[in-house]
Structure 1
């Protein structure tokens, strides 16, 4: 990627292990060296700092809990709210509304929604030689993402050889569970899936109260502009429609129908396939549509980035997974 004027590298912590995810070094249009660290933990203050810590969203495996404490952190305004609620800490960095542009050391970063969670953000910028760089974060809908030359993306369901990486959201199953029961509970993680559940309910025409566990309630009230009537568990006077974390379903009345919003099959309650990610087909289509010269698959941990990178290479794309990226920088960038 040196010909594209960009260096992707990984840093090591004080124990000699790689820090999460990666960093991007390039030159700005003014010729200044700039480094953006993506979804990673902070570098101790005694060491050189990146110009920005880009936080794509507030899920824990993207390390915003650490990066949010740096004044160099950048994320959407709603991601900052979610981080503060989830971790009971003040966000110290800068925020941007999704769809707007923010400037960092002479580099204009454009932001796009990837529809993974409320406020989740893809970041896009160009370097001194005009290379277009796109960091997607986790993606549910790639239709609004811009074309790019270097794509840095995820592979949560990126193993084409795994049948569980192919799915379609069961919106009709969700609608039926909601409309066929006067009392019903949905198991959904407090951040991301719980807000999706409320959005789906409103799209299905349900306008009554939704009772939620406290953290889910706090996040949903803060993040959704049109959440409607929300209440704590047991607070409303209407028929009970509840959203709680999956492990809290057992705390609700035994005769209440219960469903888990997941593609997993290891819960004791029936599951409804609702994902916040693209499946293997969608990820592949995203790369085909964006048509980058080079793709870096940086998330999650485990074998799937390598599987997806190999799949892309078999289709004629140049791709590499994070496990094949070293912490050695080219002298051209030092």
Structure 2
């Protein structure tokens, strides 16, 4: 298997990673992982693997290719978020898809509704796993090559260590005042609604339009969702909408950041540094490629894995470069 970086016609790198390998039948294949499309006039990869629908994983571009692969919930989120029709192929959240002679297995990562890792084998039986972002790695299998994220992978950064503050969240939810939680419309809002329902609250939840549409499309057990102007006692709205709600409401931001005017409650969609390390130890690959996010964390996570005895590189270390003209 060869991990490589794709250049566009302007000579700049496409985001994230591509891999070349031979299928079990011996045919050369190329998969793009969470990357933008190649212009139609150039040779296309065999598949665009979309792990989930957050914008920094570029599904808004890849969803327009007939070679794209994602889950149904990721497709729904992409279509709602970007007002475009998905043109690719659907895979289950914990199953198989036979694509171009490659048997691809999906594994839930619990980062967002519908988020999955993709796993497959090459002609030599090498097991390759591309995770996207991960909240819960318990469903991920062992593999030989792990392609993964490092959102909170810097072991020297104290902000990369955290636990979900469920106690603080439920305390805020049970306060006698009406309450509003600021949460990003995709991913975070659905997690908060699920926590509210799991607490036993059965009343209406006020939401802004985009958060409501996404939640209704992604959660089977969302319960009654109403407009943020309906006067509900519990509300989950986009962060920018908190200011529009009445002053008497208790308001919180669901984030680990502390640079908001409202109090923060940490409910994360990611593994922290300890969780990422444990994920790698449990999967126990022979080689690790850290491809996300931008910045220094992939390099520092790869270096940390090196100290643990793993052969690991980050995206910036990959010197295999292919331009569109030579795909």
Query: Given the two structures, how large is their TM-score scaled by the length of structure 1?
Result: 0.95
Q: Residue in 2 aligned with 1:248? A: 241
Does residue 285 of structure 1 match 2:284?
Answer: no
3-state SS of paired residue (1:152): strand
Following TM superposition, by how much is the alpha carbon of 1:24 offset from its aligned partner in structure 2, in angstroms?
0.8
CA separation in 2, counterparts of 1:15 and 1:266?
A: 37
Deviations 1:233-254 (A, max 9, x none): 1236xx4211111121111111
Following TM superposition, by how much is the alpha carbon of 1:181 offset from its aligned partner in structure 2, in angstroms?
3.2
Deviations 1:240-293 (A, max 9, x none): 211111121111111210000000000000000100000000000000000000
Structure 1 runs (4+) greater than 3 angstroms displaced: none
Following TM superposition, by how much is the alpha carbon of 1:154 offset from its aligned partner in structure 2, in angstroms?
0.2
Q: Tell me if the contact between 1:187 and 1:261 (Cα under 8 Å) persists in the aligned partners.
A: yes
Q: Tell me if the contact between 1:22 and 1:39 (Cα under 8 Å) persists in the aligned partners.
A: yes
Does residue 175 of structure 1 match 2:170?
Answer: yes
Following TM superposition, by how much is the alpha carbon of 1:103 offset from its aligned partner in structure 2, in angstroms?
1.1
CA RMSD, 1 decimal = 1.0
Deviations 1:157-214 (A, max 9, x none): 0000000000000001100000113410000000000000000001111111111010
CA separation in 2, counterparts of 1:51 and 1:155?
A: 26
Q: Residue in 2 aligned with 1:299? A: 292
Q: Residue in 2 aligned with 1:273? A: 266
Q: Residue in 2 aligned with 1:163? A: 158
Q: Residue in 2 aligned with 1:3? A: none
Which of 188, 194, 202 in structure 1 is aligned with 2:183?
188
CA separation in 1, counterparts of 2:98 and 2:75?
A: 18
- The count of residues paired between Structure 1 and Structure 2 equals 323
User: RCO (CA 8 Å, sep 6+): is it higher in 1 or 2?
Assistant: 2
Does residue 73 of structure 1 match 2:68?
Answer: yes
Q: Tell me if the contact between 1:211 and 1:233 (Cα under 8 Å) persists in the aligned partners.
A: yes
3-state SS of paired residue (2:289): strand
Which of 40, 44, 47 in structure 1 is aligned with 2:39?
44
3-state SS of paired residue (2:7): coil
Q: Residue in 2 aligned with 1:313? A: 306
Q: Tell me if the contact between 1:12 and 1:327 (Cα under 8 Å) persists in the aligned partners.
A: no
CA separation in 1, counterparts of 2:287 and 2:67?
A: 27
CA separation in 2, counterparts of 1:68 and 1:232?
A: 30
Deviations 1:102-150 (A, max 9, x none): 1111100000100000000100000100000000100000011011000
Q: Tell me if the contact between 2:177 and 2:250 (Cα under 8 Å) persists in the aligned partners.
A: no
Does residue 59 of structure 1 match 2:54?
Answer: yes
Gaps of 5+ in 2: none
3-state SS of paired residue (1:196): helix
| Paired residues for 1:21-36 under 5 Å | 21-36=16-31
Does residue 129 of structure 1 match 2:124?
Answer: yes
3-state SS of paired residue (2:119): strand
Query: Given the two structures, how large is their TM-score scaled by the length of structure 2?
Result: 0.97
3-state SS of paired residue (2:6): coil
CA separation in 1, counterparts of 2:80 and 2:214?
A: 7
Q: Residue in 2 aligned with 1:200? A: 195
CA separation in 2, counterparts of 1:327 and 1:81?
A: 34
Following TM superposition, by how much is the alpha carbon of 1:13 offset from its aligned partner in structure 2, in angstroms?
1.2
